[in-house]
Amino acid sequence: MSGREDPLAMFQLAQSDAEAVRALSDNPNIADEIIGFHTQQAIEKALKAWLAVLGVDYPYTHNIIVVLNLLEERGQDVQPFRRLARYNAFAVQFRYPGAEETPVELDRRAALADADAVLDHVERVLSG
């Protein structure tokens, strides 16, 4: 079973990204773009694990809005997570030289809390 088919495997990947945020957030030498990227990845992967639980073959995308829309189309209440689309700015484009300046202020503690909130919800979904 691939990660696209196994909700638990995708959820574990999400947990790893959240753990990176937890471990790196207090280090001032780590750029906000890196913390934001791992936050975005934790959220995206957790949401994809949720889709996998529903039996949905999710697309290869880094767009949280696309994943939220797929969940909503399947009758899931994603309204509490809509605001997390702000992390899309960290998906890929701001991690490379020459990229625009990150347009999103990153509150590292809030980023971790946001990732944890999604992980907690999806963990409950996985537990069934």
Grade residue 57 by pLDDT with cuts at 50, 70 and 90: confident
Q: Is the pLDDT of residue 65 over 50?
A: yes
CATH top class, domain 7-127: mainly alpha
Give the C-alpha separation, 19 to 8, whole Å: 16
What is the predicted pLDDT for the residue at 2?
40
The predicted structure's pLDDT at residue 94: 56
Give the integer Cα–Cα distance in Å for 45 and 10. Answer: 6
Length of the chain in terms of residues written: 128
Percent of residues, the chain, with pLDDT higher than 90: 76
